[in-house]
Amino acid sequence: MKKILIIDDEEKLRSLMARIIGLEGFEVIEAGDCKSGLKKIEQHAFDVVLCDVKLPDGNGVDLTIAIKEKSPQTEVILLTAYGNIPDGVQAIKNGAFDYIVKGDDNNKIIPLLHRAIEKANLTKRIAQLEAKLEDKLSFDGIIGDSKPLLQSINLAKKVAPTDTTVLLTGETGTGKEVFAAAIHQSSSRKHQNFVAINCSAFSHDLLESEMFGHLAGSFTGATKDKKGLFEEANSGTIFLDEVGEMALDLQAKLLRVIENGEFLKVGESKPTKVDVRIIAATNRDLPKEIESGHFRQDLFYRLSVFQIQLPALRERVTDIEPLAKHFLNFFSLKTNKKIKALSDEFVQLLKLHTWPGNIRELKNVLERSVILETEAILTTDCLPMEIQQLKTANTSGESPLLSAFSLASAEKIHIQKVLNYTNHNKTETAKLLNIALTTLYRKLEEYKIN
């Protein structure tokens, strides 16, 4: 039942309005002045407040500000015996839904209440969606509690409130954009734009135009002026993914933005000023890129003021199961399937895989498995063959999970994992295992590993 608060010092009129509104199916509470009205608002969640303009201890127009501060989602309708334009204008400026004259507009009150409630419901819905979005984009939305992940999160939380440039490093698929969005969401810029661009997804000229914008006629096809992403991100945050792929001349332009907060649009001679926080990410070894002449050393020092290494999925094995359950729920809903759980053997094989594609690969595997599964639980038959091959030989009648505890089975699994990691390059596998190549061939034959 929707709650309505009536604030009016005329008791008979207030009681009459309460009866009329109550007959419409609303729950009505009454107050005779500003003080008692604000106290009621602290005690209850009202959808609409009907408030007289002239009250013994204040003015309804001014009271609207206090009501909105205490309950932003509550709509306020002001009633006055003598309407005037200045009061009406100020009431709307203060956040009132409407301003009506008693007597003349009595027939408008009920329809007006319904419209105000519709707006209040919409405001509440928007607030709920914003809260969900903030949770998803915040650090609370990052799944996992392994030590390597928590170390990265703690570092990110410390740098988030500052305007310091951040460099996120790690393998492809480790969640660098998720971290960047969480840092932005935990900063003072969270109400401004968060703009992301993948520097490896564009050609040189197109990337320059996307980042910095251009003037009409500056190149073939530039028919009108275009704002770049740095300008779109002004006062907010820009995330430069795969920054190690950027050409050297664009690196110089990026360096100027970091140092002076300004850049030149393509075809323009006058610099554009911006206030942007930069978060960059790369899966490349930038010091090696500097040695080979592919990355500017001065830019590296500017970007890596605060560097955070994101752990690979194989370094946070305990997070695989909660991540898999998250993706299971997501894809079950998306495909309208009622798959509720993962089998123990399914989870075990996920933990044995090396995940060269990290979280992105795990997500793809779960999507494929959900599509293939016909039962209410995910089984190993739905996994890709390279993961199914991690099953241990069950020669003694034991379950695959139990046989994994034998020393021979553990060695076999480890060799298989390294083989998968090297794409079955036996020379590289032997090198990583620190054994002779002949020893590796002997063990492959002994354990019947293809």
- Identify the sign of the CA torsion 275, 170, 357, 344: negative
pLDDT in tens, 211-264: 999 888 777 777 788 889 999 999 999 999 999 999 999 999 999 999 999 998
The confidence score (pLDDT) of residue 394 equals 37
The confidence score (pLDDT) of residue 372 equals 93
Neighbours of 285 (CB within 10 A): 13
The confidence score (pLDDT) of residue 135 equals 63
Mean pLDDT of the chain: 88
- Residue for token digits 């979005």? 133
Q: HSE of 323 in the Cβ direction (CA atoms, 13 Å)?
A: 26
pLDDT in tens, 322-356: 999 999 999 999 999 989 899 999 999 999 898 99
Model confidence at 147: pLDDT above 70: yes
The confidence score (pLDDT) of residue 402 equals 39
Contact between 51 and 37 under an 8 Å Cβ cutoff? The reply is: yes
Model confidence at 360: pLDDT above 50: yes
Q: Report the distance separating Cα 276 and Cα 97, nearest Å.
A: 37
Q: Could you tell me which residues come within 8 angstroms of residue 41 by beta carbon, excluding any fewer than 6 positions away? A: 5, 49, 67, 70, 71, 74
* Three-class DSSP labels, the chain: CCEEEEECCCHHHHHHHHHHHHCCCCEEEEECCHHHHHHHHHHCCCCEEEEECEECCEEHHHHHHHHHHHCCCCEEEEEECCCCHHHHHHHHHCCCCEEEECCCCHHHHHHHHHHHHHHHHHHHHHHHHHHHHHHHHCHHHCCCCCHHHHHHHHHHHHHCCCCCCEEEECCCCCCHHHHHHHHHHCCCCCCCCEEEEECCCCCHHHHHHHHHEECCCCCCCCCCCEECHHHHCCCCEEEEECHHHCCHHHHHHHHHHHHHCEECCECCCCCEECCCEEEEEECCCHHHHHHCCCCCHHHHHHHCCEEEECCCHHHCHHHHHHHHHHHHHHHHHHCCCCCCEECHHHHHHHHHCCCCCHHHHHHHHHHHHHHHCCCCEECHHHCCHHHHCCCCCCCCCCCHHHHCCCHHHHHHHHHHHHHHHCCCCHHHHHHHHCCCHHHHHHHHHHCCCC
The confidence score (pLDDT) of residue 416 equals 82
* Residue in 169, 146, 286 with CA at minimum distance from that of residue 156: 169
Model confidence at 107: pLDDT above 80: no
Whole-angstrom distance between the N-terminal and C-terminal Cα of the chain?
68
The confidence score (pLDDT) of residue 397 equals 41
Q: Which pLDDT band, with edges at 50, 70 and 90, does 108 fall under?
A: confident
Compute the average pLDDT of residues 1-13. 90
- If one compares 416 and 265, the residue with the highest pLDDT of the two is 265
pLDDT in tens, 378-429: 999 999 988 888 875 333 344 444 344 457 767 887 888 888 888 888 998 9
Model confidence at 301: pLDDT above 90: yes
The confidence score (pLDDT) of residue 106 equals 63
